[in-house]
A and B are shown apart, each in its own frame.
Chain A
Amino acid sequence: MTNPTLVIRGGLIVGPLESFLGDVLIADGRIVEVGPSVTAPSGALEIDAAGCWVGPGFVDLHTHLREPGKESAETIETGAFAAALGGYSAVVAMPNTEPALDSVAMVGYVLERGKLAAVDVAVAGAITIGRQGEQMAPIAKFAALGVRLFTDDGNGVQDAGLMRRALTYAQPLRVTLAQHCEDESLAQGGSMHEGASSSKLGLIGRPAIAEELMVMRDIELVRLTGCSMHFLHLSTERSIALVLEARAQGLPVTCEVAPHHFTLDETACETFDPEFKVHPPLRTAADVAALRAALRAGVIDAVATDHAPHTPESKDMAFDEAPPGMLGLEQAAGLTLEALGGAEADPQVFFSVLSRGPARVAQMREQDVRVGHSAHGGAVSVGEDANLVVFDPKAPYVVDRDKLASRARNTPYHGRTIHGRARATIVRGRLVQLEGNLQ
């Protein structure tokens, strides 16, 4: 069955370099016409985009779909629904499932299940078996399946020698290793940022230096090996500065920041509410300000959610016993817009950090060698795969944890008013979400 022809009317079409008001006509999974006023065939489904931004669907580099192993918290299906509501047309599934995505069978399983999901599902493979940081996973076999990102996320690869070998092995395969930067010898046992709040609360801290030291180490390993590297969820001012400095020196490094790290600070933990527990932890107000400034300056490659579903019972534990992580897919774009200056934000930067940048990092663009998924992060021009979002930069809504598409409820934004929401999400030419309703 073919999808009905879609026409997006009267939105601000946000290309990589310029924006203009117009219509987009979509048929057979592709963009077939873009112009000030297109003529749609009869029976076409019209989407009113007045006052909205029309751009490439968002791409999340950092989604925990929990399947296989923790389906009580999230499945590939429900995680993809959350993504669609958030305006995402593609997500990269993190490998810290149970078992980990450290074998061809497990990677293949997620890719196959992903084909049935509402959005495109790419996979990040584990760097090491069981994410234990001891023995390399079959990186070349994963690459043949189309895997372009590798990480032990949740853990950083602690052993510098092993990390060097993994980078050396990965370099000729043209894949990217992504690191969760936290040196466990400094962070172990900690459950929030080490600082004034942790000290007052009597909670063991995960200091900024634990993250920054691994960022420093890995930059030097990239210099040595030439392999490209992506830094996951950087949370401190110094981490960002280090990566920018390395990039200025021509090193193949990219980085992402997560909405919670540029929205919330360490003081949120003073309620002892485990919804605010995350690794790396919520940092200082100064770090939050630095991350927002870097986002506005357009120097961050991607905003990534680190969407981490957990069951209510696991979050109803004491703060230091509860698992780290929080939901993010459904609120990320609105929070990114807020950080970029709200409705006055530069739409080019907005789509750069939410779509074009992450699509480049994940090698999901039209010009990349792709296996099994359509092209993302495009220019909104004729002939492209129709992965698009219609984003209303003014729509206010109140976050309600009981109305999320995700199976889990662990949002730190319950009750918060957010301005900016995806009005429609189109994946491979199919309307998957309209005005908050899954189609």
Chain B
Amino acid sequence: MIDSIAGGNLVSLATLSQRAIVEVLDTAESFVEVNSRAVKKVPALKGKVIASLFFEESTRTRLSFETAAKRLSADVLSLAVASSSVKKGESLRDTINTIDALGIDAVVMRHSSSGAPVQVSRYVPHVRVINAGDGQHQHPTQGLLDAFTVRQVLAARAGTSGRESGSELFAGLNVLIVGDIRHSRVARSDIEVYTRLGAHVTVAAPGTLLPPDIAQWPVTVATDFDEALATADVVGLLRLQKERGSGAFVPSLGEFTSTFGLTSRRAELLRPETIIMHPGPMNRGVEIDSQVADSSAAVIEQQVRNGVPVRMAVLYLTTAGTTLESGSND
């Protein structure tokens, strides 16, 4: 376990200790204030070059990262590589070496293949690598911003600050994650971050959308979805890829909605204080009804808003301390 991401990479939450996670959350909290200023900018990463390298299309995550980098005064090289490296006929190593040759301090990357950021971190060990989502593996900043949002809501209710509370608000918290756990990088990152902070995680999904070895995961599998909803403190929904509903994994999207969708009818089972979350983009009417998504229990927009300070924290911690090697140093 790593106790701090300072000066390091962020490719997975699986190797971060509770201390490392809390450090990110606390740092993010100090950046929240920057985002409410008239001049939303601090010079923390002035002179640093951050490449934003998206092999897989994404508008939200990309905008969030680039906004975060700019608010830290970093220069952003934005490179859309929205086709797979195979289709381009160039190896992953060649692609990253080319970008590295431009002179970069960090790369924020998304890739449709699990593990691509891990490989890149081996190809360019002097560059900090921040995973913005890789295949079905990890989406670390989503996990961190989800935990940050939960802590923010709970701290406000308790009349304290997140930083004051550390990880204690997560002790014994019941987090229910619903939907396509098997193919979800968000689920993998969320499960890591919540369990590390002391929460109890339950998952609910059709059998085909659970990983085959779910019994070995540090989670409880809900046998009765409705019952699990009634005892949940946090309900995290996942986007159901539409192609999963074409009969291969579930017979139809309609059947998924009727069995595992958070319909407005089913939302009546929730306690009033239960927090409803979704990483976006939502399939309204599939995993979540519009009325539920727009209700006061849903913190979906707050999650998006928190994406910026959390990503500022990650960029700052990983990249601020690094310097381009220069021969003039003693």
A contacts, CB < 8 Å to B = 194-196, 199-205, 207, 271-274, 313-314, 316-321
Contacts and interface: CB of A to CB of B under 8 A. Distances in A.
Nearest to A271: B118
B138 interface: yes
B113 A320 contact: yes
Contacts of A194: 212
Interface in B245-276: none
Interface residues of B, number: 30
Could you tell me the dominant secondary structure of chain A's interface residues? Answer: loop
B200 interface: no
B115 interface: yes
Contacts of A320: 113-114, 135
Contacts of B94: 313, 316
Interface of B: 14, 84-86, 91-94, 111, 113-116, 118-119, 122-123, 134-138, 185, 188, 211-214, 216-217
5 contacts: A199-B212, A200-B14, A272-B114, A319-B119, A321-B113
A195 B213 contact: yes
A317 B92 contact: yes
A246 to B, nearest CB: 28
Nearest to B117: A272
B99 to A, nearest CB: 15
Contacts of B188: 200, 202
Contacts of A274: 119
Given A201-B115, A202-B114, 7 more contacts: A194-B212, A195-B212, A199-B217, A271-B118, A318-B113, A318-B135, A320-B113
Contacts of B134: 202
A235 B9 CA distance: 35
B211 A318 contact: no
* Top-3 shortest CB links A-B: A272-B115, A318-B113, A202-B136
Contact of B137 (A202, A205, A313): A202
B92 to A, nearest CB: 6
Contact of B136 (A196, A203, A273): A203
Contact of A203 (B14, B123, B135): B135
Contacts of A319: 113-116, 119
Contacts of B137: 201-203
A202 B213 CA distance: 12
Contact of B115 (A203, A205, A313): A203
Contacts of A200: 14, 188
A203 B93 CA distance: 20
Nearest to B95: A316
A272 B123 CA distance: 12
B213 A321 contact: no
Given A200-B14, A319-B114, A321-B84, A272 B211 contact: no
A43 to B, nearest CB: 53
A204 B113 CA distance: 10
B44 to A, nearest CB: 31
Given A273-B119, A313-B91, A321-B86, A199 B211 contact: yes
A321 B122 CA distance: 17
Contacts of A316: 91-94, 123
Nearest to A318: B113
Nearest to B113: A318
Contacts of A203: 114-115, 135-137
